[in-house]
Amino acid sequence: MQEKTVISTDRAAGPFGGAPYSQAIVANGFVFTAGQVAAKADGSGLVGATVEEQTEQVLANIAAVLEAAGSSLDRLVKTTVFLRTLDDFAGMNEVYRRHVGERPPARSTVGVELPPGILVEIEAIATVG
């Protein structure tokens, strides 16, 4: 049985309120990230009042977690984007496009209820190695 490895970095926000989850898990050649929001790495609050600003921070957090796992945004194979309102789809997509490269991952995008102030959350799966 393949082991799983917990990934943790101080370059991205840790579990919200001490909740029982990991920033990411590496298993079977893949890294699976927890949903990342536009939280500052030091836990001092959110970055940005617009979906574009928040998406930039979310992707910076994902990049930091992936790097800690030995991966990168270039190795993304699947993402799931959660938006407070689908009216923000175009703004999120504009920023997202700049970060995922010429061969973007498979993606799902859904509108959901998110905690106050959070406009976007993204979780990701990438290859490692």
CATH of the domain at 82: 3.30.1330.40
Instruction: Work out how many domains the chain is built from and give that number.
Output: 1
Contact 81, 108 (CB under 8 A): yes
Residue 41 belongs to domain spanning: 5-127
State pLDDT tens for residues 22-77: 999 999 999 999 999 999 999 889 999 999 999 999 999 999 999 999 999 999 99
In this prediction, residue 1 carries a pLDDT of: 54
In this prediction, residue 17 carries a pLDDT of: 81
Contact 125, 78 (CB under 8 A): yes
Q: Label each residue of the chain as H, E or C.
A: CCCCEEECCCCCCCCHHHCCCCCEEEECCEEEECCECCECCCCCCECCCCHHHHHHHHHHHHHHHHHHCCCCHHHEEEEEEEECCHHHHHHHHHHHHHHHCCCCCEEEEEECCCCCCCCEEEEEEEECC
pLDDT above 70 as % of the chain: 98
- The total of other beta-carbon atoms located within 10 Å of residue 5's CB is 14
